[in-house]
Amino acid sequence: MEFMKPGAFKDNARAALADQDLRSAMTMLSTGMIPNRQGAVDRLPEFEKLSQRGRELKDHVLAHLDFYLERFERNCKAAGGHVHWCATAEDARREVLEICRSVDAKTVTKGKSMIAEEIHLNEFLEQHHIEPIETDLGEYIIQLAEEPPSHIIGPAIHKTKDQVSDLFLKHHAKLGRTERQTEPQKLVNEAREILRQKYFDADVGITGANYLIAETGSSIIVTNEGNGDLTQTLPKIHIVVTSLEKVVPTLEDATTFLRILARSATGQEFSAYTTISTGPRQDGDMDGPEEYHVILLDNGRSAMLGSEVQDMLRCIRCGACMNHCPVYQSVGGHTYGTVYVGPMGAVLSPALLGVAETKHLPCASTLCGRCEEVCPVSIPLPRLLRQWRQRAFEAGDVPSLERWGLSVWAFFAKRPWLYGLGARLAMRGLAYLGRDRGRMRKLWFAGGWTDGRDLPAPEGQTFQERWRKQQRERAAS
Amino acid sequence: MANDKSKTPINVGLFATCLVDLFRPTVGFAAARLIEAAGCAVHVPEQTCCGQPAYNSGDSRHARQIARQVIESFEIYDYVVVPSGSCGGMIAVHYPDLFADDPDWNRRARALAAKTFELTTFLADVMKIDAAEAISAAHDGTATYHDACAGLRELGVRDQPRELLAGVKDLALVEMDDTEACCGFGGTFCVKYGEISTDIVSRKTAEVVKTGADLLLAGDLGCLLNIAGRLKREGSSVQVRHVAEVLAGMTGEVPPIGEIGSERGGENNGKKDGN
């Protein structure tokens, strides 16, 4: 479906700021996610050390990515799995479709996967008459609402409970559920009961992967609902859609990340389910798929290696940066118009989609640095946002008014005498305008400021003017 | 650390910042008074801006030109002191980055960065002044302190202003919730994305008001203009000042930010306005 575009960021933001349901849903961040994360971090004395270790591990893997990916492929194949290298989103979609067609699949169940979102897999499958069924509760909600996720770990975080009640009633009434449920547990149960049979009916189960283990050829997913396990063990085929940078050397290395992931994300010590898959069902296994496929997506990532934004490839998709971002808290994820949102999205999206298409995203940040502070793998997000701003500026992707304004400002800033003269005149003027109340309610050339705030008036004379005068008086006396 | 004034004084270059220069000269004088009280000589060389507007807009060419100008004007001093964590961070953290490919300027930028300090960290960490002794300031009221982002995260400004404020007679300090959350100023962000900025600052003013404090303090004029502007628009009576004004005992010399000095002399006590 057509949804918001990153180019319309400002319009999207305006709509978001006026959306009372969104505003009430987003308070969840400050009352839940933020204090929960802090509590979990405080309870683990070695969090900092693990975080440092995680960062080093990721940097090591990125420096030897080819080695670990080939090792993963070898071991995955040895366990009976298949690995599909896909340079682009289109390649990945085609591979998934081919696998689905090999068993004439009518429905596929899906665990939560941001890579599936990145390649817009659901729309593609629907176009080819295969019904995708989201089994993660949040993903299920937004699938009913026909919306993209607004958060990388809480896809329906923008929805209030009331909105979910309405949505379930609207879509489940035809399935005989005509009572509007309002208690969270009852809503969960209703979704669970409706989804139950779908797991058995599905021909293919698609999940993402939090980690790929090079030494064993395994993939790991973490969930809180157990939906991933049913998605990947019940159907004939399990497809893992994932990307290059998810590989880690060993199982033990994965545990380093698992210990910081849930704590950073939701403030849990550990996700409720951590599931490791190695190849298809083996002789003697009680359950499991007959085929196990890994779709290994590049889609612009290998081009980030060795670039100024390589650090972004360390990201473990915990979402802490967006939870703590003042801009995200105000406007929510849909405003970004991209699959990845918040600070990590504003850094990753220009790499995946191009700078021109996404130029608002790196600019729409106060650079407050809280994202970097809470990032468990120390990605210098503000620095990377500035990198994109610099590239956009150098490529001429900056409005001419802004460029002109900067040039005029720089012209004066490089000429202190002229600057001082201009400053003295301007401040006298502003002080005059604000003389009655010490502030201005409206200034035609500063609407961006005065629409929501008064502008405090300057004292009148500049500091340097007064200082020099004082120095002269001191010298004279 | 009291200095022996008979020896060569410690020469401090005061980088007032463009916002202080333009909007709030009193903060510059307050900073100078505090630095002198710590036993240093204050110098104010000709200056404009640290270059941050260009740097954060991706215009590194102009940012470098302005940075060179600052380096040339200030490298002769023993220390550079800045009454702003944001501009202080620009010099102390980002200048060396700007000259990553220019060994000569990089060396000079790093040398300047190493001796550049935000005002309260200079007083508390470098000069190690005893606040109660060196600053005989008094202010009758209850204040809350906003942690401005760049100072907090780039320069580690957190305890220093609070320690110094503890030495101000009659002043009570109450902490607001989420004091480390951004106020939404963000330099040019506040006009480019004015509506989002307004929404962010509204969360901040709600926290300020919730504390019941009659005075909001911070160490960065950008944040202060933003928060004061929003508080006034909301009709709040909470007063707003730079932390240096209170520390230097200069609240009697200038009305709070965004207010008028009609009752000058009667309003040096941080009481509600409109009295």
* pLDDT tens readout for residues A350-401: 999 998 889 899 999 999 999 999 999 999 999 999 999 999 999 888 888 8
User: Which residues form the domain of A178?
Assistant: 50-299
Q: How far apart are CA A181 and CA A174, in angstroms?
A: 15
The CATH number assigned to the domain holding A62 equals: 3.40.50.10420
Chain A residues within 8 A of B180 when measuring between CB atoms? 370
Copy the structure tokens of residue A42.
Answer: 């405080």
Give φ, ψ of B168 to 5 degrees: -85, 125
Is the CB of residue B28 less than 8 Å away from at least one CB of chain A?
A: yes
Asked if the structure places residue A55 within a domain, the reply is: yes
Chain B residues within 8 A of A367 when measuring between CB atoms? 56, 149-150, 186-187, 189
User: What would the DSSP string read from start to end of A99-158?
Assistant: HHHHTT-SEEEE---HHHHHTTHHHHHHHTT-EEEE-SHHHHHHHHHT---SSSS-TTTT
Return the residue of B nearest to A452 by Cα.
B198
Asked which of A299, A324, A343 is the last residue of a domain, the reply is: A299
- Provide the CA B255 distance to its chain's centre, in angstroms: 17
- Please check whether residues A28 and A66 belong to one and the same domain: no
> Shortest CB distance from A466 goes to which of B25, B58, B230?
B25
Q: Give residue A339's pLDDT.
A: 96
Domains and CATH numbers, chain B: 10-123 (3.40.50), 138-263 (3.40.50.11810)
Please determine, for the modelled complex, whether the ipTM score is greater than 0.85: yes
Give φ, ψ of B54 to 5 degrees: -70, -45
Q: How far apart are CA B227 and CA B234, in angstroms?
A: 11
- Please check whether residues A154 and A268 belong to one and the same domain: yes
Asked if the structure places residue A463 within a domain, the reply is: yes
Share the mean pLDDT of chain B: 92
Task: Kindly list the distances between the CA atom of residue B52 and the CA atoms of A393, B48, B86, B196, in Å, as whole numbers in the listed order.
Answer: 15, 11, 9, 21
Nearest to B53 by CA among A358, A412, A384, A427: A412
- Please check whether residues A120 and A191 belong to one and the same domain: yes
> Is residue A241 within 8 Å of A292, Cβ to Cβ?
no
Tally of structural domains, chain A: 3
- Please check whether residues A146 and A258 belong to one and the same domain: yes
- Please check whether residues A110 and A206 belong to one and the same domain: yes
∠ Cα A14 A20 A25 (to 5°): 110
Separation in Å, CA of B215 to nearest CA in chain A: 16
Asked if the structure places residue A305 within a domain, the reply is: no
- Which of residues 324 through 353 in chain A touch B, CB cutoff 8 A? 326-327, 329-331
- Please check whether residues A229 and A251 belong to one and the same domain: yes
Give φ, ψ of B174 to 5 degrees: -115, 140
Asked which of A375, A398, A421 is the last residue of a domain, the reply is: A398
Give φ, ψ of B92 to 5 degrees: -80, -25
Task: Kindly list the distances between the CA atom of residue B157 and the CA atoms of B137, B201, B242, in Å, as whole numbers in the listed order.
Answer: 21, 21, 14
Verify whether the Cβ–Cβ distance B26 to A459 is below 8 Å: yes
Is the CB of residue B198 less than 8 Å away from at least one CB of chain A?
A: yes
> Shortest CB distance from A368 goes to which of B182, B230, B255?
B182
- Which of residues 366 through 385 in chain A touch B, CB cutoff 8 A? 366-370, 372-373, 383
Q: How far apart are CA B123 and CA B118, in angstroms?
A: 9
- Please check whether residues A98 and A77 belong to one and the same domain: yes
Chain A residues within 8 A of B44 when measuring between CB atoms? 463-464, 467-468
Q: Give residue A3's pLDDT.
A: 62
- Provide the CA A60 distance to its chain's centre, in angstroms: 23
- Please check whether residues A209 and A112 belong to one and the same domain: yes
Asked which of A398, A426, A452 is the last residue of a domain, the reply is: A398
Asked if the structure places residue A97 within a domain, the reply is: yes
Return the residue of A nearest to B56 by Cα.
A386
3-class DSSP state of A85:
strand
Alpha helices in A173-313 (DSSP H): 184-201, 227-233, 251-265, 301-304
Chain B residues within 8 A of A413 when measuring between CB atoms? 18, 48-49, 51, 62, 66
Q: What is the pLDDT along chain A (477 residues), one digit of tens a residue?
A: 346 888 899 999 999 999 999 999 999 898 899 999 999 999 999 999 999 999 999 999 999 999 999 999 999 999 999 999 999 999 999 999 999 999 999 999 999 999 999 999 999 999 999 999 999 999 999 999 999 999 999 999 999 999 999 999 999 999 999 999 999 999 999 999 999 999 999 999 999 999 999 999 999 999 999 899 999 999 999 999 999 999 999 999 999 999 999 999 999 999 999 999 999 999 999 899 999 999 999 999 999 999 999 999 999 999 999 999 999 999 999 999 999 999 999 999 999 999 888 989 999 999 999 999 999 999 999 999 999 999 999 988 888 888 999 999 999 999 999 999 999 999 999 999 999 999 999 988 888 899 999 999 999 999 999 999 999 999 998
The count of CB pairs under 8 A between chains A and B is 218
> Is residue B223 within 8 Å of B148, Cβ to Cβ?
yes
- Please check whether residues A124 and A272 belong to one and the same domain: yes
- Please check whether residues A97 and A215 belong to one and the same domain: yes
Q: Which amino acid, one-letter code, is at B132? A: A
Would you call A1 exposed, middle or buried from its count of C-beta atoms within 10 A (0-12, 13-18, 19+)? exposed
Verify whether the Cβ–Cβ distance A449 to B195 is below 8 Å: no
Is the CB of residue B26 less than 8 Å away from at least one CB of chain A?
A: yes
Asked if the structure places residue A358 within a domain, the reply is: yes
Asked if the structure places residue A369 within a domain, the reply is: yes
3-class DSSP state of B39:
coil
Verify whether the Cβ–Cβ distance A414 to B48 is below 8 Å: yes
The CATH number assigned to the domain holding A21 equals: 1.10.1060
> Is residue B37 within 8 Å of B10, Cβ to Cβ?
no
Eight-class DSSP state of A241: E
- Please check whether residues A141 and A254 belong to one and the same domain: yes
- Please check whether residues A102 and A213 belong to one and the same domain: yes
Asked if the structure places residue A304 within a domain, the reply is: no
